[in-house]
Structure formats: C-alpha cells, structure tokens
Amino acid sequence: MSRILTLTTDFGLEDHYVAVMKAVILKNGPIDLKMVDISHSVPPNDIMAGAWVVREAARFFPAETIHLVVVDPGVGTDRDPVLIKSHGQWFIGPDNGLFSLISQDAGYEAWRLDNAHYWLDEISSTFHGRDLFAPTAAHLASGVNPNKLGTPGHTLMTWRWPEPIQDKDGVRGWVAHIDHFGNLITNIPSSVVKEFQFDSSIRMKIYIGNTILEYISSTFGDVEPGQAVIYPGSSQMLEIAVNRGNASELLGVPKGSEVTIVFQKPAL
Amino acid sequence: MSRILTLTTDFGLEDHYVAVMKAVILKNGPIDLKMVDISHSVPPNDIMAGAWVVREAARFFPAETIHLVVVDPGVGTDRDPVLIKSHGQWFIGPDNGLFSLISQDAGYEAWRLDNAHYWLDEISSTFHGRDLFAPTAAHLASGVNPNKLGTPGHTLMTWRWPEPIQDKDGVRGWVAHIDHFGNLITNIPSSVVKEFQFDSSIRMKIYIGNTILEYISSTFGDVEPGQAVIYPGSSQMLEIAVNRGNASELLGVPKGSEVTIVFQKPAL
Amino acid sequence: MSRILTLTTDFGLEDHYVAVMKAVILKNGPIDLKMVDISHSVPPNDIMAGAWVVREAARFFPAETIHLVVVDPGVGTDRDPVLIKSHGQWFIGPDNGLFSLISQDAGYEAWRLDNAHYWLDEISSTFHGRDLFAPTAAHLASGVNPNKLGTPGHTLMTWRWPEPIQDKDGVRGWVAHIDHFGNLITNIPSSVVKEFQFDSSIRMKIYIGNTILEYISSTFGDVEPGQAVIYPGSSQMLEIAVNRGNASELLGVPKGSEVTIVFQKPAL
C-alpha cells in the first residue's frame, strides 16, 4: 500500500487554499502518495472541532498515515509548528490544542518543527498550511527523518476536553458534535450503557433538551419516522437522532448541550 | 486503464464519514484504484435523488466501474445490502429503491451481500457504508468473485419512477431535479420534441409554473439575460433555465412541479 | 513527477457535473494523471471570480500543469473554445474573459480549439465542459500536440481588470475577493506599502467602509480578537481581516468596495 496523506482544515472549498497546499505536496512528495480530504468545513478557528474530527477519522486509517491538520487562528504569532507520532500515525499542524484529543487517547512523541530547509523559500505570516506544514508533510512522506524536520522531545500544548461525570445513579455528558444529518453525538461512550442496554429490569431516563427518552435503541430505524431515539453510534459514543429528521433542529438542541442518563433501579 | 470506484452519499462533506469510507477502501482495495466523488450532497435520506444522480453520472463512466451508493435511512433494519451489475458497471448499496432507475433502464443481475468475511470485524448498526459496503466494494475492485461476496439471483426492491404522459396533443412531465444553477431538469426526454424542434409549422405552448414558453431553443444563450428558455439538456432531458439567472427562484418553481407541452396544429 | 490536471468550475458539488468531466478525463487521459480540484464554488457565471481563483492557484503549480477552467455562461453560442500556454502552464476553457488575469501577468500563446476529432462524439449545446474541454485536456495530458487540438495564433478576448490608482499621497484599490473566513483581499499589491511598513516616521490612514486603520500589521494575531487589521496577505496583496471574526460581515464591507490608503508625511 502506498503512503496516505490526509488533509483537515477550516479553509472551506470555495477558495484556492486547499488546492495550493496540494500543489506544494505534489511538488515535494513521493509520486505514489494518496491524498484524502477529511474535512475542510471545520468551523473557522474552532480548534476543538478540528481536534474532534481528526481523532474520529484517524481510527480508520492505516499505520504511518500522515494527517495534515490546519486550524490556525494564531498563525504568524509565537505558537509552535509541530509534528506528532501517536497511535502509529503522524500528525502535523500548529501546536494550539489541535492535538489534545489524539494525544489524550494514547502516548505521543512530538517534534517542534524548526528546520526551514524543508519549508517554502518564502514564508507568509498568514498561510503556514501552504508554506510550512504542507512541504514538511510532503518531505516526511518522502522518507525524511523526523529528527531532520524538527527537534524531538517537544511537549504539546493541550486543552482539557471535559469528560462525562458518572456515578452509580447515572451519567452526565454533553453534545460534542452535530453532524450533517443533525444527529447529536455525545461524549458518553456507548460502553457506559452497554451492560444495561438489553437488561429490561434496568429502567432509565435520558434527558436531552426538553425530551425524555426511556431506553437505548439499536438504530434510528427502531422508532417511527419523526421520533427521537438514542443508540450506540458509529463513533462508539451514544448518539441522539430523529428518524428521517434533523434532531438538532427538531429537538432544538445545539452543540454543547447537556445529556443526562439516570438509572432507575427496580423496586425490590 | 486502472479500475474506477465512485462514491455517492447523503453524508455531506463536513464530517469524517466520507473519509473513513475511503480509508477502508484504501486498506482493502487494489493499489491503482482511482476514486471519484460523484456527490455527497444528496438531500438526507432522499433515495430517489440518489437514484437519479447515480444514473446520470454512470452514463459517462467506463465498463467495470464500481459505484458505491449510500443513501440509507433504513440502515440497521432488515433492508438487504446488495451488489448489482447493470449497463456493464457495478453498483453497491442498500436495497431500498436506490437502484430503481439504473435497473429500469436495462437488465440487471443482483447479489444479496451476506458474506461477513468481506466486511469489517465489527458492524455498527448505523454506518454500513463504512463497515459493509466500502470493504465489499474494495474487495470487488481487488478481483474477488461476486459469488463470494453474496448470493446471486436477488430481486431488487424498486420504486416506480413516474414517466411522462404523452398523446398526440402533447406531453406532461415533471421537474425531476433542480441543479446548482437553479436549472429545472424535467423527466421529458428531449427526443419527444426533437422532430418538432426545427419545424416552424408546429406551434407549441410549454407551461411551467406561471410561465408559458412558445418554442424549444438550443441553449440558454439563445434568449436575453433574465429570460426563461427551454432546451434539450445535457442529460438528454428537456431543461428550463433563465439565462444568467436561477430559474427555480425566478420562476418560483420547486422540484416535482408539472411541465406541460401542448402541440398546436396549424389550421388548414 | 506525473502530470497534474486541475479543475475549476461554477458547477457546485451537489450534481454529477464535475464527476462526469472526471470520467471523460479518466477515459481519455494518461493512467498516472493526478487530478486536483481548485474550486467548484465560483459564483455561477462570474467570469472574473473564476479568472481570479485560477490565477491565484496557478502560482503554486509546477510547469506543464493543465488547468481546466469552465465558467461558461455563453456555452453553445459563438464564443470560442481555447487552449492557452502562459507562465509555462496550460489553460483550457471558453474564451470569454476567463483568462484575462493569467494572460495579463505574462505573455501567452493561444490555440482556437476546432478539431472535433478530440471531442466526444456528441456535443451538447450546454455542457462543453464534459463534451469538448474535458476530452481536449485529457488528450493534451496524453501528449497530443496542441497544433492538432486547435489552430495557433488565436488572440484572447480579455476584460480589463481595474488596477489600483496610486500617486505620492496614497493609493486607492478595491476588494477583489472575499474568502471563506470573510477576509477582504484587495487588489493593492503588498509591495506598495512594503517600504513604509516598518518606517514609523511614515504615518498613514487606511479607509475601508466605515473603518479607519493606522498601520500595516504582520498577521491578524497582531491585534486583539474582534479588532480589524490590515496586513500583507498570502496572495501578495494587502488583506483586511478581523482577528477570529468575519471581516466582511463585521465591517459590513462587500466585494468591490473601495480601499484607500493615505500617507501622512511627518511635519518638518
């Protein structure tokens, strides 16, 4: 299998920004490199949204994949450019919290990118994706040793990503992402309720906005069209959907909203 | 020419969903496979819109192209996953009507996909595009015999796509698709009016919303900017446009609207 | 390095239009051709927006890259199809002003595309991107001599792109493009103010909409979040942004707005 390089940015698809990064990669990378766009619709400057989508995507890419990730509101200031190895894959971008989730899930090694030999000749102050990160990623794909690209032993700047709160009576989390369908993806791992899901002696109430659900389903087709449903999602987190509808709009629930599950023990 | 695999979904481009399908394909498919996105903007859960765009696109792809098509509101329920051969090309997706148009235009062979050996190890109940359809498509591209992927002799579930009604006095059809420009693509084949198009002794009236047109043009540039025009479109169907404008908005005509052509015979 | 072919259109990504152009290219082009999308979100029929994005992108592509550019409101009328060589790269599309900027920056050679042998068998009157430009681009990529594809010595139709007005007291330009972030990209080259940028004895006032700025910064991070800033942009033009915000919305400045810089000489 040839080498894979993915791209994730908040650049959108209307401008030439993504294409010129690809041009720089094609000029400096190996001929058999495969480029895959993850998303260029990260909300502008939303570092944690970028951190989330890269973590979710990386699970399915093979070892040695290179992920170029640019959500960079501090471009041109003193935030460091970094290269990270984690989960057997590579991540390149600004050290502004963008790698908080990847580095939280497993150990990492990080290099501070400081070798301008591998950058474009002229470095703008507002487009390091093109001038610094893209050529570095291409050279890494071509087999350049990371120790040549930067200085090892870097400690990442990370943001704390709130974890769900759990005790014997229940769990409280929040809506971490709303997808294209309007499905509400929580930060509550499906494993939390797995043992209860098929145990009809455990009753529960799930509170989200003004909606109360009473059991965990398998898929949105388990309820009638128009009805809300909670199920273990494809990201291994609990998700709330409306069958054939947009849950965020129909339930009036924005990103960041609380989701609370209360277990109701059977009376003896 | 190396093998081509296309992707059509209602997943949008903001999430990681399309990219993880590509990751699965890259891990399981041949090294020289070429992936082409047809559209990921099929309206959510709109099976017939998916059926339409795939039929339109497939006309121009070479024999043996594999089309991965996922518009799947019933994912995780008892709808079957299928592989189809039609028009010398391959189609993979849920058997929910998505292949109604392709199979209506020509014969087909279909396989019910039931061999989990070719799927991911863990199958979610909400993302068969990633867990089942993508790996199956990749293995097919790698040369696995379709009879290993599933059971032949499957009969497709199809929806009836209304055909235009025609008699000696005229033809009535409807707006099957509104494109990015706001052009109204009807389901009336251009061939219906071809014999009349350049015959000035045949007068006709074309009714669409509150607009009446009196002749078939060649292209939208045949009328002044801002004027409505009907012409044989690039999909071999009659299309209605406004030159340099958005016909759907300017004429107030939504998808599904009636289009009626009445031939007016010359008085003797 | 294998050959690169880029695509720029106003076709959007929801329809099958871009995919069928790629199908035609794959059928007729060399096996190792790399396709890169520049943008398919050029505003419908906005020729100068297409001219701008292609010029900006082409700077970073290698010699011999082929740029397929289709913004073609006059398709099917008597505007010519053309092939251009400029800046060591190739450009193919309708001769409607779309190549005004590329040809203005440097010399060019142009061929009028008139050899139907290299087109699809059937030419629609509304989709020359698929029927004429895509196959021509693919054949050029395969090594067909441009003199076989068309007739050399063609003179391009060009639109005049207004240049900024400058004298010893200042410079007046306009907002040539608003990008995905809402940044205002002017047509004033950064070089105009380069000599003054770090000379604190030169005071200046920069007028844009109802906002007045007093110095040129290096990057948007030089001002507090929410503040407006002007800096030499990554396209070598002056840009105006709001740090972590959308300048076009927050300053109420649309595309085409005037930007005026007045130099204020120090009193002796």
Give the Å distances, CA to CA, from B67 to A50, B51, B70, B107, C226: 30, 12, 10, 17, 47
Of B59, B61, B219, the CB nearest to C76: B219
C32: closest CA of chain A, how far (Å): 9
Contacts of B34 in chain C (CB under 8 A): 26
Q: Does A60 touch chain B (CB under 8 A)?
A: yes
Query: Least CB-CB distance to C44: which of B32, B181, B219?
Result: B181
Min distance A130 CA to chain B CA atoms (Å): 21
Question: Which among C38, C180, C234 has the least Cβ separation from residue A126?
Answer: C234
Inter-chain touch C234–A75, beta carbons under 8 Å: no
Q: Does A165 touch chain B (CB under 8 A)?
A: no
Domain B165-264 has CATH 2.40.30.90: yes
Spatial separation of the C-alpha atoms in residues C168 and C191, rounded to whole Å:
15
Judged on CB neighbours under 10 Å (0-12, 13-18, 19+), B115 is: middle
d(CA B49, CA B57): 12
How far does chain A reach from its first CA to its final CA, in angstroms?
Answer: 59
Contact assignment for B246 to C24 by CB distance below 8 Å: no
Q: Which residue of A has its CA nearest to C217?
A: A125
**CB atoms near residue A80 (< 10 Å):** 17
> Between chain A and chain C, how many beta carbons pairs sit less than 8 Å apart?
94
pLDDT of residue B168: 86
CATH code 2.40.30.90 region(s) in chain C: 165-264
Each residue's pLDDT expressed in tens, for chain C with a length of 268 residues: 569 999 999 999 999 999 999 999 999 999 999 999 999 999 999 999 999 999 999 999 999 999 999 999 999 888 999 999 999 999 999 999 999 999 987 899 999 999 999 999 999 999 999 999 999 999 999 999 999 999 999 999 999 888 899 988 899 999 999 999 999 999 999 998 877 666 667 789 999 999 999 989 999 889 999 999 999 999 999 999 999 999 999 999 999 999 999 988 765 5
Query: Residue A202 above 90 pLDDT?
Result: no
CB atoms B39 and C13 under 8 Å = yes
What is the phi-psi region of residue C52: left when phi exceeds 0, alpha when psi lies from -120 to 50, beta otherwise?
Answer: alpha
Residue segments in chain B with a per-residue pLDDT below the cut of 70: 1-2, 196-200, 266-268
The confidence score (pLDDT) of residue B268 equals 55
Per-residue pLDDT at A40: 98
* pLDDT number for residue C202: 77
Which residue's structure tokens are 């479109």?
A: B233
- The Cβ of residue B106 has, within 10 Å, a number of other Cβ atoms equal to 9
CB B224 within 8 A of CB B159: no
* Residue ranges, CATH 3.40.50.10790, chain B: 4-152
Structure tokens at C266: 């120090």
What number of other Cβ atoms are within 10 A of residue C113's Cβ? 25
Substitution target in A9, A11, A20, A24 with the highest count of C β-carbons within 10 Å is A20
- Residue pair A102/A58 in contact (Cβ under 8 Å)? The answer is yes
Element (H, E) at C26: helix C17-28
Bridge-based pairing of strands C66-70 and C34-39 is unpaired
Report d(CA A47, CA B164) in Å as an integer.
51
Fold type of domain B4-152? Rossmann fold (3.40.50)
Per-residue pLDDT at A267 exceeds 80? no
ipTM above 0.85 for this complex? yes
Q: How far is B138 from chain A (nearest CA, A)?
A: 13
Of B36, B179, B220, the CB nearest to C23: B36
Collect all residues of chain B within an 8 Å Cβ-Cβ radius of residue A56.
16, 20
A11 to chain C: closest CA residue: C180
DSSP string over B108-141: -EEEEE--GGGS-SS--SS-HIIIIIHHHHHHHH
Instruction: Tell me the per-residue pLDDT of B169-199, one tens digit each, with 9 for 90 and over.
Output: 899 999 999 999 999 999 999 998 877 666 6
Amino acid C196: pLDDT: 66
> What is the SS3 assignment for C39?
strand
Task: Find the length of chain C.
Answer: 268
The per-residue pLDDT for range A161-201, each reduced to its tens digit, is 888 999 888 999 999 999 999 999 999 999 988 776 666 67
Which pLDDT score is estimated for B20? 98
Nearest to C85 by CA among C106, C69, C70: C106
User: In angstroms, what separates the C-alpha of A118 from chain B's closest C-alpha?
Assistant: 28
Q: Is A185 helix (H, G, I), strand (E, B) or coil?
A: strand
Of the partner residues C45, C73, C127, the one whose CB lies closest to the CB of residue B234: C127
Question: How close, in Å, is residue C241 to chain B by CA atoms?
Answer: 24
Strand partners, C241: C229
- Contact criterion met (CB below 8 Å) for B11 and B17: yes
Question: For chain B, which chains pass the contact test of at least 3 CB pairs under 8 Å?
Answer: A, C
Element (H, E) at B187: strand B184-189
Nearest chain C residue to A76 by CA: give it. Answer: C219
- The residue-averaged pLDDT of A123-139 equals 96
Write down how long chain A is.
Answer: 268
Chain B residues inside the 8 Å CB shell of A38: 16, 19
Provide the pairing of β-strand B109-113 with C184-189.
Answer: unpaired
Residues 6+ apart with CB under 8 A from A236: A189, A190, A191
CA distance B55 to B161: 13
Bridge partners of residue B163, in order along the sequence:
none
Q: Please tell me the distance from the alpha carbon of residue C70 to that of residue C129, in angstroms, as a whole number.
A: 6
Query: What pTM was estimated for this model as a whole?
Result: 0.95
Q: Which of residues 177-236 of B touch A (CB under 8 A)?
A: none
Q: Which of C60, C61, C180 sits opposite A14 (nearest CB)?
A: C180
Q: Do B180 and C126 touch (CB under 8 A)?
A: no
Contacts of B124 in chain A (CB under 8 A): 232-234
Tell me the β-bridge partners of A37.
A7
Q: Does B165 touch chain A (CB under 8 A)?
A: no
What tokens appear for C216 in the block?
Answer: 């040129």
Residue of B10, B13, B15 best to disrupt the A interface, most CBs of A under 10 A: B15
- What is the structure's pLDDT at C200? 67
- Say how far apart CA B85 and CA B106 lie, in whole Å: 10
Torsion of CA A90, A92, A95, A101, to 10 degrees: -40
How far is residue A214's CA from residue A262's CA, in Å, rounded to a whole number? 10
- Classify each residue of A86-105 as buried b or exposed e, where b means 16 or more C-beta atoms within 10 Å of its C-beta: bbebbbbbbbbbbbbbbbbe
Distance CA A22, CA B98 (A): 34
Instruction: Assess contact for A89 and A67: CB atoms under 8 A.
Output: yes
Residue B56's CB is within 10 A of a number of other CB atoms, namely: 24
CB atoms near residue B62 (< 10 Å): 13
